[in-house]
Structure 1
Amino acid sequence: MTLALPRRALVGLGLVAALSPLQSFAQAWPSKPVRWVVAYPAGGGSDFLARQLSPQLAKQLGQTIVIDNRPGAAGIIGTDNAAKSPPDGYTIVTGDNGAMVFHEAMYKKIPYAPGDLAPVGFMARFPLILAVNPSAGFASGKQLLDDIKKNPGKFSYASPGIGSPHHLAMELLKDRTQAFVVHVPYRGTAMAVQDVIAGQVPMMVLDTAAGLPQIRSGKVKALAVMSKKRIPSLPDVPTLDELGVKDFEVTAWQGLFVPKGTPADIVTRLTVEMNKAIATPEVKARLEDFGLEVTPTDGPALASFLQKETSFWHALIKERKLSAD
């Protein structure tokens, strides 16, 4: 005998049947390896962060995390690849100042929009350091600031590339001090640092990942940090605020993102597991020893931060007529 059900019950069963595959998919995630896109070469700061976090995150999720380095075009190639990947929870990507804020204003056109990626949470940030060749003749940060203001165009600075946080940090310093220092962009940090060490260029902005080993070895000299407070790894180096450049703070930050449309419960779990991985004592210790400031948050907090960053930096880029094209 067939039991006849009311029309309303049949509709309800139809909705349950339609939803159950999605629910079971979310509950089963992850059922295969997760790909972590890093839009920069192996060996850099972004790569280091991902490779330090991925084993612990994999352990918590019960699945392998595969680091997929896709460098090129200042991070645009890898970020675009991630943005165009299926929103199924099996692609995550590191997003930074450049990919998520600067590029949209620095280039006439990029192949993705920052909104194509959904924020999972902030991970960490690299403090930035104003550093010089020890033989360049700058005894202190105050002297450097005085010299660049008094001698427009006499000095130059290296950067890892146009549109990098290091480049924009120096442009902000130039804007705040009304100084003119010639920009010498390189394709990557390594070549820029080597030319500063060799005395080809007198100064540059370094992140702690690349800068601390060179500073500790005496190959370059730190004159100021671009954080609000002095950093533990360089307690004797003053902030720019202490040197008279008020309310100055720029860092090279790193957040975790997924393709827009990734199921909300997967994003939530990623946030929880990522924060847990970052807080693991041995992981946190390795990150801090590398010079990172560990600053985990959730997706909404990162989204709010992005809005403020975008508003501030796009205005500066427009005002100073900066362009990567």
Structure 2
Amino acid sequence: MFHVARRCILALLSGAVFAVLPLETGEAAYPEQLIKIVVTFPPGGSADTVIRALEPVVTAELKQSLVIENRAGAGGNIGMAAVAQARPDGYTLGVAPAGALTVNPHLNPAMPFDPKDLAPITLLAEIPFVLVASADIPAHTAAETIALAKAKPGALSIGHGGNSTVMHLTAALFTQKAGISMELVPYRGTAPATVDVLAGHVPFAVLDIPASRQLILEGRLNAIGVSSARRLASLPDVPTLAESGITGFESVGWFGLVAPAGTPADIVTRLNEAFVKALKDPSVVEKIRTLGAEPAPTSPEQFGRFIRSESTKWEKLINEAGIKAN
């Protein structure tokens, strides 16, 4: 009797030990709390709109809600610094813009963070640009634009959305690769640049697609070429600048999802899977394309390589063209 009772007690204790072990040594499944996503642009911008389009699908996949916090300013540096300094536990993420990760570090010696302080999760979307000409300019192709610029060296200009923006660098890259001299005219955003090229105050401009597409379709602006590597579904008849003879030309705005460096690999993988799934959802794809952007899901490794290649490209251009922060 004693031995039977003893065996029962030992069995109960053993079961209790195994029942407690997962709580003491195991880790709770991620995510077990709200996930904050820092967006480095104001509400209503492209990055903010894309994250909000992704939110329902990601929430359903992770079975956890997302909290979106807009921290605009300093070309994305303020928001990215907050993400870089957060705990690497997967509960603070950031929407990183191209400028903050690959342009600002080469223009600002006093950066509040190092891009290496961030772990790439996935590229989210690319925002291609289009080089346009005023309707009264006798140039409808890249070849005609280059010929015109060479006939009038320094007399023509290209408007863009602001100094140190990717639109600015796109215009600079065009003149560099084409071997021409054109004044680069900064504006406070795409809208005023669009107004001036439409009115003929500047002969050319680098614009984003939402600001220019309808004007191009109506024939009020001449589309010289898009800056992406492939033609766009929204402007299928407009060639890329690369296929127009400017070999290797590619320049797009973009933003991607990052976490603080040191975030566990399994959490990065889990987040990547959830966001990539959302980026491939047909309803989300449609919403992103209405913004003039293209969904661009990648693996964390692919995104990391892309960041490094973009940084190298812009560093070279900034140094050779003598571009300064303003």
Q: Scaled by the length of structure 2, what TM-score is found?
A: 0.85
Contact 1:207 1:252 in 2 (8 A): no
Provide the C-alpha distance between the structure 2 equivalents of 1:148 and 1:220, rounded to a whole number of angstroms: 18
Tell me the SS of whatever aligns to 2:245.
coil
CA offset digits 1:275-319 (Å, max 9, x no partner): 111111211222234333322111111112222222222122112
Provide the C-alpha distance between the structure 1 equivalents of 2:36 and 2:192, rounded to a whole number of angstroms: 29
Tell me the SS of whatever aligns to 1:124.
strand
Q: Which residue of 1 aligns with 2:6?
A: none
Q: Which residue of 2 aligns with 1:7?
A: none
Q: CA RMSD in A?
A: 2.5
Letter in 2 for 1:208: I
Letter in 1 for 2:33: S
Distance apart, 1:42 and its partner CA:
2.5
Name the CA shift for 1:157/1:92 in 2 (closer, same or farther; >3 Å): same
Tell me the SS of whatever aligns to 1:130.
strand
Provide the C-alpha distance between the structure 2 equivalents of 1:279 and 1:154, rounded to a whole number of angstroms: 46
CA offset digits 1:174-206 (Å, max 9, x no partner): 111221221222233233333333433332212
CA offset digits 1:99-133 (Å, max 9, x no partner): 11111112222111111111001222122211233
Contact 2:33 2:91 in 1 (8 A): no
1:20 has 2:25 as partner: yes
1:170 has 2:171 as partner: yes
Name the CA shift for 1:43/1:311 in 2 (closer, same or farther; >3 Å): same
Contact 1:126 1:209 in 2 (8 A): no
Contact 1:45 1:209 in 2 (8 A): no
Name the CA shift for 1:83/1:286 in 2 (closer, same or farther; >3 Å): same
Name the CA shift for 1:212/1:43 in 2 (closer, same or farther; >3 Å): farther
Alignment of structure 1 residues 6-17 onto 2, 5 Å = none
Tell me the SS of whatever aligns to 2:135.
coil
Provide the C-alpha distance between the structure 1 equivalents of 2:30 and 2:229, rounded to a whole number of angstroms: 44
Q: Which residue of 1 aligns with 2:56?
A: 55
Contact 2:157 2:203 in 1 (8 A): yes
1:317 has 2:318 as partner: yes
Higher mean displacement: 137-146 or 246-255 = 137-146
Tell me the SS of whatever aligns to 2:207.
strand
1:201 has 2:202 as partner: yes
Name the CA shift for 1:60/1:261 in 2 (closer, same or farther; >3 Å): same
Letter in 1 for 2:247: K
Distance apart, 1:258 and its partner CA:
0.9
Contact 1:149 1:177 in 2 (8 A): no
Q: Which residue of 1 aligns with 2:212?
A: 211
Letter in 1 for 2:262: G
Letter in 2 for 1:206: L
Name the CA shift for 1:189/1:83 in 2 (closer, same or farther; >3 Å): farther
Provide the C-alpha distance between the structure 1 equivalents of 2:61 and 2:22, rounded to a whole number of angstroms: 31
Q: Which residue of 2 aligns with 1:285?
A: 286
Q: Which residue of 2 aligns with 1:111?
A: 112
Tell me the SS of whatever aligns to 1:247.
coil
Provide the C-alpha distance between the structure 1 equivalents of 2:116 and 2:310, rounded to a whole number of angstroms: 14
Q: Which residue of 2 aligns with 1:235?
A: 236
1:298 has 2:303 as partner: no
Q: Which runs of 5+ in 1 are unaligned?
A: 1-15
Tell me the SS of whatever aligns to 1:98.
helix
Name the CA shift for 1:63/1:205 in 2 (closer, same or farther; >3 Å): same
Tell me the SS of whatever aligns to 1:67.
strand
Provide the C-alpha distance between the structure 2 equivalents of 1:220 and 1:75, rounded to a whole number of angstroms: 31
Provide the C-alpha distance between the structure 2 equivalents of 1:139 and 1:69, rounded to a whole number of angstroms: 40
Q: Which residue of 1 aligns with 2:184?
A: 183
Counting matched residue pairs gives 308
CA offset digits 1:183-238 (Å, max 9, x no partner): 22223323333333343333221233443344345553322112233222212212
Letter in 1 for 2:244: L
Q: Which residue of 1 aligns with 2:126?
A: 125
1:276 has 2:262 as partner: no
Letter in 1 for 2:80: T
CA offset digits 1:134-158 (Å, max 9, x no partner): 2344344332222122222212222
Contact 1:209 1:290 in 2 (8 A): yes
Provide the C-alpha distance between the structure 2 equivalents of 1:150 and 1:19, rounded to a whole number of angstroms: 77
Provide the C-alpha distance between the structure 2 equivalents of 1:313 and 1:227, rounded to a whole number of angstroms: 15
Q: Which residue of 2 aligns with 1:151?
A: 152
Letter in 2 for 1:20: T
Provide the C-alpha distance between the structure 2 equivalents of 1:44 and 1:192, rounded to a whole number of angstroms: 18
Higher mean displacement: 275-284 or 56-65 = 56-65
Provide the C-alpha distance between the structure 2 equivalents of 1:274 and 1:63, rounded to a whole number of angstroms: 13
Letter in 2 for 1:166: M
Provide the C-alpha distance between the structure 2 equivalents of 1:71 and 1:148, rounded to a whole number of angstroms: 38
Q: Scaled by the length of structure 1, what TM-score is found?
A: 0.85
